[in-house]
Amino acid sequence: MHQAKPSDKSLDLRPDKQRGLMRWVRRVVRWAVRTACLLMTLAVVFVVAAWVLGNTPVNTDFQSAGEEGIEIVILNNGVHADIVVPLDHPEFRWRDYLAPSHFIAPSSEYRYALFGWGNRHFYMETRTWDDVKVMTVLRAFAGIGDTVVHVELCSHNSWDSERSRKIRISPDQFRKLSAFLLETMKTSEDGKLVPVPNAHYHDSDAFYEAKGSYHLFRTCNVWAGAGLKKAGIRVGYWTVTPGLLFACLPT
């Protein structure tokens, strides 16, 4: 029996399809390589810029207020920075703003308030390091979601010296720092702070609705640096990490 030969047309289609597929694969590979190179370049630029700006101080004329000054503390847990201020100093009484009803177990024995700012979902869904989720971190760095201020009441202002820095500032500097903290927090129509209902880590802390957007370029450490900068305290120009925040702080 005579077997029909494939037509010339069918013989030509297969090589054309293979060549088209190879061209498409090469384009994808080139795009992937270029994208990877671009991302690596941007990452290097980000790291270098952060290091340079974090080690470039502002308020270089700052001088400690000495024993007569008001002592504040900057805390570093390795990732996040907090600012600790006295609750009842006559220059700015934080107890007038932090109502006892905002806390599960308020007490007159507390003498200091610890302030931190950050992405709402990350802050409230990540109580411990075991609770960290990749998507929560990525959403925060992308600027997705609202922000909150976390306030914790403390009876002391002494922490491990390796993760804290005590600074004595003038009354005017303390008022400016307190004004910055207050301005970060949202207020109701009657001017009172807005606590997040039923949001606590423990009996002596509370979350408050906050202003501003958290993202890769404005982290909690950048926020802390901005407050110190506004108060006239020596600090780096752009403090993305707690290490860069501490780099230029007075010793």
The 10s digit of each residue's pLDDT in 1-31 is: 455 555 554 445 466 667 777 778 778 888 8
Residue 202 is given by DSSP the state S
Average pLDDT, the chain: 88
Distance CA 65, CA 191 (A): 32
Q: What is the pLDDT of residue 4?
A: 52
Phi-psi region of 66 (alpha: psi -120 to 50; beta: other; left: phi over 0): left
Kindly list the distances between the CA atom of residue 151 and the CA atoms of 148, 185, 210, in Å, as whole numbers in the listed order. 10, 11, 12
Mean pLDDT of 147-173: 92
Residues ≥6 apart with Cβ < 8 Å to 102: 151, 193, 195, 206, 208
pLDDT of residue 11: 46
In this structure, which amino acid lies at residue 159?
A: W
Two tokens, residue 137? 């971190």
Ranking 58-72, 99-113, 130-144 by mean pLDDT, the lowest is: 130-144
Is 33's pLDDT higher than 60? Answer: yes
Instruction: Give the integer Cα–Cα distance in Å for 52 and 163.
Output: 22
Nearest to 182, CA basis, from 111, 240, 230, 232:
230
What's this model's pTM, rounded to 2 decimal places? 0.84
Contacts of 174 (CB under 8 A, 6+ apart): 70, 72, 85, 89, 91, 92, 231
User: 13 versus 248: which is more confidently predicted?
Assistant: 248
